[in-house]
Amino acid sequence: MIYRGIAASEGIVMGKAYLYTKEKVQIDKNTIPAEKITIEMEKFNDALTLTKKQLLSIRKKASHELGEDKARVFDAHMMMLTDPVFLEDVKELIKKERINAAYAVGKTVNKFVDIFSSIEDDYLQARKVDINDVGERLVRNILGIAADPWQDLTEKAVVVAHDLTPSDTSFLDKSQVLGIATCAGSKTSHTAIMARSLEIPAVLGLGDILDKVKNGYYVILDGIEGEIIINPDDEQVRLYLAKLKDYTENKISLQKFVNLPAVTLDGKKVEVNANIGTPRELSTVIANGGEGIGLYRTEFLYMDRTTLPDEEEQFLSYKEVVEGLKGKPVIIRTLDIGGDKNIPYLHLPEEMNPFLGWRAIRICLDRPDIFKTQLKAILRASAFGKVRIMYPMISTVDEVSKANQILAEVKQELFNDGIDYDKDIKVGIMVETPAAAMIADLLIPEVDFFSIGTNDLCQYTLAVDRVNEKVSHLYQPFHPGILRLIKNVIDVSHKHGKPTGMCGEMAGDPLAAIILVGLGIDELSMSPSAMPTIKKIIRNISYEQSKIVARHALTLSKGEDILKYVKESATDF
Ligand code: PEP
Ligand code: MG
């Protein structure tokens, strides 16, 4: 059977399925005789020591492999193990009620969870997960059951899970994981980012896939098309082996473009940059020949945690990326949350239309405390390389002026404190609302550059929810309405002698690249693995030819006709 989900990390793999379900341990309740109380107390104390040791080692590993921000999850776990009320409650149950240690821990954990559940507070709701996690680990250690849920993954397999949390992935041994398939998740979810950065093929959003596959079933996972095939027949195996061969050969042939610039046959240079979500993706960017970072989605630093990252933590993350790029440009986008990206501890209100609601720059302008902290961290990082700042979701001139006003205040504060930053830092905006594209001429005097965010621009212009499968056929980046807006934005910026880039998914589409080059785009930013293909395309076309293609494409009235025409033109190059 073939199941379709979201193609989150490319590649094709075949192998046995490993179901990662993290079943809870069954704990029996035993009454212990008085003389055995000391033994149970010892069991509890030993397990406590072992659990602390394990957490310290996981934290270290997580900090190294996933970054300090994700490692902090384990600080909350550690806090639980030293909480005097928790410890006292467990000991009381063992001593006074003569209950076995494992049951006493389970009961106390449930009591804490119940208390937290009864209080309507997102922070406490998030802590519930931490308490359950650490309680389970403690119980496993008392009972002598391995606390590492990956321990049964002893041979290479495709991991099938409901979702993978940062704590799950910190255990994950890359050499054993062929691919990842999950019920939940989206292209920009933690698991997707993680899979791409580790270059593990992944298909997410597979719904009830856990009900369809059992441990040891043979599966094919296609992270290019976003498919998983359970117990394939011989014909399917042959088909996918052939696909895998093509994919591998293509990847090898693209290697020669990695370190070449994207210059057309007649000498027009286009900057090819990478989109990233965390510093961990740097190695993939460099391995694929990124000339810079065109979009650093900073919101991932704010996710999977219970409090805002402070200035120092943000500064260290930004600095790591900036230094890793060794003088190449890094466009750091300020916080873009809301829409489909929620941060529970910020208590974003439930909204009828979250994509049209309180998100991105709108939140930042209403919460200058959050915005200023981030701007300060970015400015400080700018002293270590070539940083540019970019505001998301702009729809009015006023928003840019207000954001720039706050930026000026933050610069002044840093100056007063004698803290170094790039005095000449360039500031741009994402053009991702139709309004911004239409008033590009009014916005350009306020900024140094534009970057077109087609993911949102398509959603808003075509009135098509970017995450709704039902209307995905209407989501057409080649729609004439989109191309006209893109042309307007590029033309306006050039009239003012300023560059326009693109960082939406369209930038990594080889056919779109032909039109975009023809329209005069200056920079394309995409997921790292797409860069060699785009460089190859650009190196094989001439600017003059692509201008002709773009001009003709803009005379056509349907998205599908434009796509067909560009496909045909591409075969001539
Ligand atoms: C976009 O909207 O095109 C974009 C790049 O931003 P995001 O996908 O993070 O909304
Ligand atoms: Mg966007």
Domains of the chain, first to last: 2-21+150-253 (3.50.30.10), 34-144 (1.10.274.10), 260-570 (3.20.20.60)
Query: What's residue 75's pLDDT?
Result: 84
Q: How buried is 471 (Cβ within 10 angstroms: 0-12 exposed, 13-18 middle, 19+ buried)?
A: middle
Residue 456 alpha carbon to ligand 1 centre in Å: 6
Q: How many CA atoms lie within 13 A of 35 on its CB side?
A: 0
Q: Looking at ligand 1, which atom is closest to the CA of residue 336? A: 9
Distance CA 399, CA 415 (A): 24
Please name which of 466, 488, 485, 487 lies closest in space to residue 475, comparing C-alpha atoms.
466
Query: What's residue 398's pLDDT?
Result: 98
Query: What's residue 73's pLDDT?
Result: 75
Question: Would you please indicate which residues are annotated as catalytic (active-site) residues?
Answer: 190, 503
Query: What's residue 146's pLDDT?
Result: 63
Asked if residue 297 has its Cβ within 6 Å of ligand 1, the reply is yes
Distance CA 5, CA 208 (A): 11
Ligand 1 mutation pick, 337, 456, 466, 526, max ligand atoms within 8 A of CB: 456
Strand order in the sheet with 218-222: 2-4, 227-230, 218-222, 12-20, 157-161, 177-182, 202-204, 6-9
Q: Looking at ligand 1, which atom is closest to the CA of residue 503? A: 5
Query: What's residue 186's pLDDT?
Result: 76
Ligand 1 mutation pick, 293, 297, 502, 506, max ligand atoms within 8 A of CB: 297
Cα–Cα distance list, 24 to 141, 163, 171, 289 (Å): 13, 16, 18, 45
Distance CA 391, CA 561 (A): 34
| 409 within 8 A of 379, measured Cβ to Cβ | no
What angle do helix axes 37-66 and 101-118 make, rounded to 10 degrees?
60
Query: What's residue 66's pLDDT?
Result: 66
Phi, psi of 460 (to 5 degrees): -80, -40
Residues of the chain with pLDDT under 70: 22-24, 65-66, 69-70, 122-123, 125-126, 146-149, 166-167, 170-171, 188, 304, 469, 573
Q: Looking at ligand 1, which atom is closest to the CA of residue 455? A: 3
Query: What's residue 216's pLDDT?
Result: 93
Residue 441 alpha carbon to ligand 1 centre in Å: 22
Query: What's residue 521's pLDDT?
Result: 98
Helices and strands: H and E segment counts in the chain: 23, 17
pTM higher than 0.85 for the full model?
no
